[in-house]
Amino acid sequence: MPTALITGATAGIGAAFARRLARDGLDLVLVARDTDRLTASAAELHGRFGVRTEVLQADLATDEGIERVEKRLEEGVDLLVNNAGFGNQGTFLNVPVEDELRMLKVHCEAVLRLTYAALPGMRRRGKGGIINVASVAAFLTRGTYGASKAWVVSFTEALAQEISEPNVQAMALCPGLVRTEFHERAKMDVSGTPDLLWLDADAVVNTALTDLRRGRAVSVPDPRYKAIVGAAKLIPKGLIGRISAKTARRYD
């Protein structure tokens, strides 16, 4: 039975991936920090879909947590979803450098190391996929979060070019605003954001899996955000930075 490993699997986009992949019949390895939520999610998915669900508690902001997931990936999986991530409260210089480094650890180092652990087995078997969850913020000039997600996109695009096996794919998923716990955890005030900019996590996942099958290196779900990304590529970066700074999400 094919197996998918999902980081940040208990909420938001990660949980949506878990539901969709379980519905499709894949066994799951669920990775997150909260053991209780992991156990509850695994039990629910097993009960609903009858798939095997494995729980792996790991904090990807630590070497120990990354190493734990690396070891499991070296045993072999068919799909890796690097979804774990978070945002910091405040702008650069108002955020402790330790918190910024934690973000880079999770968004960049963990993505690199887990990809490195999973990809050799996929290439040997001649099949497999890696989805690295980035953000539309990767195409805008906005703080450490956007910079880290820009790294994810660049890394994944380069990786997709290097993989020679036709049935092994790597893709960066770049959603816009999705209704998850992300903004609440970062204490971001998004109350003024228009409803039309919000995406549904299940719809984002459906688009991502379709784009992965099509062999796309970058997936931007929804025509609205495709238009935003397209416009961002045409506007000078200095102007994008000024617009982004004026329209940035507020913090409590």
Per residue in 52-89, pLDDT tens? 999 999 999 999 999 999 999 999 999 999 999 998 87
Is 145 annotated in the active site?
Answer: yes
Q: What is the pLDDT of residue 232?
A: 65
Give me the catalytic one of 116, 145, 225, 251: 145
- Run of H or E residues at 199: strand 198-199
Model pLDDT for residues 196-252, shown as the tens digit of each residue? 677 899 999 999 999 999 999 999 998 888 888 887 665 555 544 444 454 444 433
Measured from the Cβ of residue 9, the count of other Cβ atoms closer than 10 Å reads 31
pLDDT of residue 1: 81
Measured CA to CA, the distance from residue 168 to residue 160 in angstroms comes to 9
Mean pLDDT within 133-161: 92
Residue 190, pLDDT above cutoff 60? no
In angstroms, what is the C-alpha Rg of the chain? Answer: 17
pLDDT at position 246, please? Answer: 47
**Burial (Cβ within 10 Å: 0-12, 13-18, ≥19) of residue 148:** buried
Domains of the chain: 3-251 (3.40.50.720)
Cα(238)–Cα(198) distance, integer angstroms: 26
Q: Are 175 and 211 in contact (CB under 8 A)?
A: no
